[in-house]
Structure 1
Amino acid sequence: MDAAEWDIPPADEVIVRCRRLFEPALREAVSALHPWSARMASFTLGWADAHGRPYEGNVGKSVRPAIALLCAEAAGADAASAVPAAVAVELVHAFSLVHDDIIDLDERRRHRPALWKAYGTGPALLAGDALLALAVAQLAGSAEAMPYLSSALMELVQGQTADMAFEDRPWRGPGAVTVDEYTEMTLGKTGGLLGAAAATGVVLGGGAELAPRMWRMGRELGVAFQLADDILGIWGDPTVTGKPADSDLRRGKKTYPVLAALATDGAAARDLAALLAAGAADDEAVRHAARLVEEAGGRAEAEALADHYLSSALDTMDACLPDAADLRALCGSLIDRIH
C-alpha cells in the first residue's frame, strides 16, 4: 500500500516530538567532550555559531534518531527506552557529514559554512573523531544493540570508500560504474546507519527478535533516501537543500540519475557522456547536463527505484511492526519530497 493511503500524522510533527525526547540527552553527551570539541560539535549540530554563541537555525532532519525512537515505540515500549540508540546514530551521522564535507571539499552545510571551513581541516577531523567515539560509548553496554552499530560503521566506511573509488572510473564503456554497483554502495553508505537506527531501536524497545528484519528494512529505506537525495542534488531547490543547484553535476559526482541515463543508448546519453568527459564546469554546461540526464530517463528511473525500495521497506515494517503509523509517516516523507 502506498504511504499516502494511510491516515497518519504529518511527518514534521513526528520529528519535533522525537527531537524533544532525544535532544537533551544529545546535549548532555556532547557536554562531556573537550571544550573545543564540544564547541565544534555544537556548531555542526546546529546549536551554536562559529563563535560558540547560541544559534537557532537548521539542525538537520533528525531522521535516524527519530527512526530509533519510533521503532522502540512501535515495538510496544516507551520511546524513551531507545534514547541511547537515537543519540548514537545522530552522533555517527554528524561524524560522517563532517568527514564527507572534507573529502568532497563541500564548503556549505545546512546554509552555513561546513565545519572544516569554519574551524580548519585538522580541528574538524578531530571533532568528527570525537563524535564517533562518543557515539560508540552510548551503546557500549548493550550486547544486543552494539553489533548493529558496529556493522553500520563498517558499511559506512566501505560505502564511502567505494564512492570515492567510483570517481576514478570512466563515465561510460569498459570500467564504468554500473547502477547495480552504485545501489550496493548505497546500501552501505546510507542504508547501514538507517538499518542500525531501526535495529537498535527495536532492541532497546524489547523486540530484539525483530532486529535482523528491521536492519534490512532500514538498509532498503536508506537506498530510497539516497536516491531522493541524488535527485535533489541535481534538481533540488537550493533554499531547501542548502547547497547550490546542480551541485552534484558541477562536481562531476557519479549519482544514480546520471549513471542510469548513461546506461541508455540514445543520443541524449551519448551527448551527456561527451559533456561529462569534457568537464561540465560553467553554469550553462551544467544546466545542459541536467536536461540530458532527464531526457535520457535518468530522473524517472531514479524516482521509480526510490519508490520500489520504499515499498519494500514498508512491507518489511508492516510485517514486523503493524502499529507504526508515525514511523510510516516519517519514512514516506523521505521520498515524498521528490514528487
Structure 2
Amino acid sequence: MRTTGRTREQDAVGSPSDDAPPETWLRYAHEVTDPVLRKAVSSLHQQARIVVGYHLGWWDEQGRPVSAGWGKAVRPALVVLAARAVGGRPGVGRSAAAAVQLAHDSSLLHDDIIDQDETRRHRPAAWKVFGIPGALLAGDAMLALAVSLAQQDGHSARATAALNEAVQQFIGGQFEDIGFERRADVSLGECTTMAARKTGALMGAACRLGAMAAGADEAQAASMDAFGRSLGLAFQHVDDLLGIWGDPELTGKPAGADLHTRKKSLPVVAALTSRTPESKELADHYSRDPALDDMDTLRRTAHLVERAGGRRLSAERARRHLSEALCHLDDACPPPPESRPLRALAQWLADRDH
C-alpha cells in the first residue's frame, strides 16, 4: 500500500478534512471531476458533444451555458474516497472518477430511452430533446470515452478490465430488468441479482479503481470492490423506495413513476411474492394498461406494496447490505481517520431522501 504522510494542513488546503460531512465530500468530488469531464467531452464529435453536455447539465439544447448539474457525484466520490482510505494523496483518481461517471451517465441516457422516462434531473431527458438516435449515439460515445479515461490513472490494463467487467454486468442487469416487465413470476432472488449487476457492479468498480489509483494491492482492491457492491445493493433498495414514495421535488421524477411504468423493483417484487391479499390486487393492477392510471390509482398501488411488506423488507435489506459493506471496508482499510469520510458517505447514501 502506498503511504503519503498526508497532514491535516494539506487536507485544509487541497481537500475537505476527515470529519467533513458527506455533502461536502460530494461537492469536492464534483469540483475535481468536472474539469476532467469537460476536457474529455470536448474531444467528442460536435453533435455528440452537444447531447452529452446537455445531459450533464452544462448547457441547454442550443449550447448556451446553464448550471443544471450532472447529479450528486456519488460514484466519483467513491473513487476519490476509496483512494484516500487506502492512503492515496489528495487528487488521486480524478481520471478514474470521470470514467466511472461517464459510464454511469451513458447507462442513464440509454435507460431513459428504454423506460420512456421523459425527465432527468428536473428537466427533459436528452432523448426527448435530441431524439432517440442522437441520445443513443451520445451514450455510446460516453462509454468509449470512459474506457479511455480509465487508463490514465495507472494500472491501465487492470483498470480497463475492471471497468469493462462492470459495464458488461450492468448491461446484463439491464437485459434482466427489461425481461422482468414481460414476466409475472419474478422472484426476489432474481431481482436482487439484477440489482447487484445493474447498480452494484459499477459502484464496486468505482471503489476498486480508486484503490488501484492509490497503489492498493489486489487484496485491498478486491475488498474495496466488495464494499462498493454491497453498498450498491443498499443504494438500490433506497432508490427503489424513493421511486415509489419519494418526494418529486427532491427526486426530479413524478410521484409513483416506477409504479406507472410497471417496474418490477425490489419492494414491488417483495410485495408480489408475499402471498397476501394485497399481493393479488397488486398483481391485478400490474396487468392493466398504464395509460389508465391516475394519481388515486398510483396512491392505492403504493399502499398495496406497503401493506404487503415491500417497503419494510426493502428498508431492512438496505440496512443489512450497508452493514455488509462496512465489514468489507474494515477488511480493506486501516482504522479511521483515513476511511472515515467513506464510512460517512456510505451511511448517508443508505439514509438519503433523494
Report matched runs for 1:1-339 at 5 Å. 8-140=19-151, 142-170=156-184, 176-209=185-218, 210-279=220-289, 281-321=293-333, 322=335, 323-338=338-353
Cα shift at 1:208: 3.1
TM-score, normalised by the number of residues in structure 1? 0.93
The 1:278/1:41 distance shift into structure 2, 3 A limit, reads closer
Cα shift at 1:139: 2.1
RMSD (CA atoms) = 1.5
- The answer to whether the 8 A contact 1:30-1:38 is kept is yes
Q: Which runs of 4+ in 1 moved over 4 A?
A: none
Q: Between the two proteins, what is the percent identity of the paired residues?
A: 45
Once the two structures are superposed, residues 181-214 of structure 1 have per-residue CA deviations (whole angstroms, 9 ceiling, x without a partner) of 0000111100111011000110011103211121
- The answer to whether the 8 A contact 2:242-2:353 is kept is yes
- The answer to whether the 8 A contact 2:27-2:73 is kept is no
- The answer to whether the 8 A contact 1:144-1:208 is kept is no
- The answer to whether the 8 A contact 2:221-2:332 is kept is no
Cα shift at 1:137: 0.6
- The answer to whether the 8 A contact 2:250-2:353 is kept is no
Cα shift at 1:279: 4.2
Q: 2:12 maps to what in 1?
A: none
Q: Bigger CA drift: 215-224 or 231-240?
A: 215-224
Cα shift at 1:235: 0.3
User: Which structure 1 segments of 5+ residues have no match?
Assistant: 1-6, 171-175
Once the two structures are superposed, residues 286-317 of structure 1 have per-residue CA deviations (whole angstroms, 9 ceiling, x without a partner) of 11010011111110000000111011001111
User: Which structure 2 segments of 5+ residues have no match?
Assistant: 1-17
Cα shift at 1:338: 4.8
Give the number of aligned pairs.
328
Distance 2:202 2:102 in 1: 11
Q: 1:4 maps to what in 2?
A: none
Distance 1:15 1:208 in 2: 26
Cα shift at 1:318: 2.0
Cα shift at 1:278: 3.0
- The answer to whether the 8 A contact 2:319-2:350 is kept is yes
Describe the SS at the equivalent of 2:133: helix
Distance 2:317 2:260 in 1: 24
TM-score, normalised by the number of residues in structure 2? 0.90
